[in-house]
């Protein structure tokens, strides 16, 4: 038997939550690839299962425990199967996971997955492994990314952690303080991605516009440097904080053609009283004036936001203020959630509002958001816009891509157009997407 075949093991990763976890899962797969692992989409055939978890949404830990329970029969059928929990739930509850779930072999936090090879060796020897250390910058430890062929879009983490300490958020406790990667390392990784076939890169960070790494003067300057890479057609970034929207970054939206006209800029509430209770350190008026400056720089930009409904103490008037801000901005898309307490955060100590009230408010806000989203989609009909095709659609001869405004676009096109940017005439809208035809 071939020695390499003997060493090949299969790795299944389930990724929860944000784009940064998608990036982390890719890097974990690459790290374990050096130990002989290849990825699989089937947990039942895996030699190792990793759950890369998120702690942001409601009942995040319970969902992880539920998934671990579903893995128990696989472990019973194959005692050699190794099961690991990674990500933010692992960081927050690593010891509890190990106590409650004997089937778990390893727990690794989001700043420690560069140590996975040593942890894997430990669990293969029959011992359990836990690493939730914040002390080492993992990016200085990770090896260069392999140059395997990639799809046309990719995520690239440039900043991690948060120093804002919003009252509702666990990120400072699970991801640590703000850390920015050096510009030369980011540019080198981006260059490698482009050489592997990537046309569009999304820069990631918990507060990505707080990036302050060596070698560039803020995120706007970093975007300009990345824009010089031949073959890189599009640049995006997410998620931003209003307080870190520097003048140079706003100017980059006007001056850099490769920087796409879409910006996710969470506001969370339209009430100054609630914003103060959330420790957001900005007012609704400051947010609105910021939006004016951004639109002055790039009038066609599509904006999206996050909203938390029913934060402790939110009155009817506070909620009406949120509806008013949402109406005044006219977001092209937004994400809204009922408040749910995250253990260990300041807001978790405050009395919560009745669930029925949260449900009613969320329905009203989401109805307004959907109307704005539909209006944004409808405004595209009749326009001819560039679309980066990413993959085949469900219908024969159909491709799916994205506009510069992050709208999903369906059009009949040859398969050879995947990873190409084509001009598409938008003909119609459907739920969350646009339909068009190649422009002649």
Which residues are documented as binding site for [4Fe-4S] cluster? 18, 54, 88, 162, 166, 169
Q: What is the DSSP letter of 145?
A: P
Binding site residue list? 18, 54, 88, 162, 166, 169
Q: Please, are residues 246 and 209 in contact by the beta-carbon 8 Å criterion?
A: yes
Q: Please, are residues 152 and 418 in contact by the beta-carbon 8 Å criterion?
A: yes
The whole-angstrom separation of Cα 110 and Cα 133 is 9
Measuring CA to CA, how many Å separate 277 from each of 16, 58, 135, 273, 347?
Answer: 28, 20, 31, 6, 8
Beta strands in 187-318 (DSSP E): 200-204, 234-238, 262-264, 302-309
Closest C-alpha to 424, from 407, 405, 403, 406? 403
- CB count within 10 Å of CB 69 equals 11
The whole-angstrom separation of Cα 407 and Cα 302 is 10
List the beta bridge partners of residue 68: none
CA torsion sign, 131 to 132 to 136 to 140?
positive
DSSP assignments along 237-275, one per residue: EE---GGG--HHHHHHHHH-TTB-SEEE---B-S-HHHH
What is the enclosing helix (H) or strand (E) of 376? Answer: helix 355-378
Structure token digits, residue 50? 């990793």
Measuring CA to CA, how many Å separate 116 from each of 122, 144, 146, 417?
Answer: 10, 15, 17, 38
């Amino acid at each position: 038997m071939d020695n390499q075949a003997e060493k090949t093991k299969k790795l299944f990763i389930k990724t929860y939550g944000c784009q940064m976890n998608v990036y982390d899962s890719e890097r974990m797969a690459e790290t374990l690839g050096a130990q002989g692992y290849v990825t699989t989409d089937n947990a039942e055939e895996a030699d190792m299962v990793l759950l890369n978890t998120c702690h942001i949404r409601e009942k995040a830990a319970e969902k992880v425990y539920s998934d671990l329970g579903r893995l128990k029969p696989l472990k019973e059928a194959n005692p050699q199967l190794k099961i690991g929990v990674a990500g933010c739930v692992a960081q927050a509850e690593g010891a509890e996971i190990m106590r409650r779930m004997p089937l778990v072999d390893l727990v690794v936090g989001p700043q420690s997955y560069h140590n996975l090879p040593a942890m894997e060796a430990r669990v293969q020897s029959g011992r359990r492994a836990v690493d939730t250390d914040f002390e080492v910058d993992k990016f200085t430890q990770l090896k260069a990314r392999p140059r395997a062929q990639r799809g046309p879009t990719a995520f690239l983490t440039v900043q991690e952690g948060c120093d804002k300490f919003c009252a509702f958020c666990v990120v400072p406790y699970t991801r640590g303080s703000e850390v920015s990667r050096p510009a030369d390392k980011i540019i080198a990784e981006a260059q490698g991605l482009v050489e592997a076939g990537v046309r569009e890169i999304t820069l990631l960070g918990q507060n990505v516009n707080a990036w302050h790494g060596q070698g560039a003067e803020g995120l706007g300057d970093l975007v300009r440097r990345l824009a010089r890479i031949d073959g890189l057609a599009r640049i995006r970034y997410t998620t931003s904080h209003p307080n870190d929207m520097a003048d140079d970054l706003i100017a980059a939206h006007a001056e850099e053609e490769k920087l796409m006209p879409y910006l996710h800029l969470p506001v969370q509430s339209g009430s100054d009283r609630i914003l103060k209770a959330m420790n957001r350190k900005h007012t609704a008026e400051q947010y609105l004036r910021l939006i004016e400056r951004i639109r002055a720089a790039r009038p066609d930009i599509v904006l999206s936001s996050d909203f938390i409904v029913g934060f402790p103490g939110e009155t009817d008037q506070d909620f009406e203020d949120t509806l008013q801000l949402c109406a005044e901005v006219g977001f092209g898309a937004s994400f809204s959630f009922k408040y749910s307490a995250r253990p260990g955060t300041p807001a978790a100590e405050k009395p919560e509002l009745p669930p029925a009230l949260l449900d009613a408010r969320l329905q009203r806000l989401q109805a307004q958001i959907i109307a704005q989203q539909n209006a944004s989609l409808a405004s595209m009909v009749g326009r001819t816009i560039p679309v980066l095709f990413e993959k085949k659609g469900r219908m024969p001869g159909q491709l799916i891509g994205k506009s510069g405004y992050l709208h999903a676009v369906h059009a009949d096109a040859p398969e050879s157009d995947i990873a190409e940017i084509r001009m598409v005439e938008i003909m119609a809208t459907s739920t969350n997407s646009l339909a068009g035809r190649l422009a002649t």
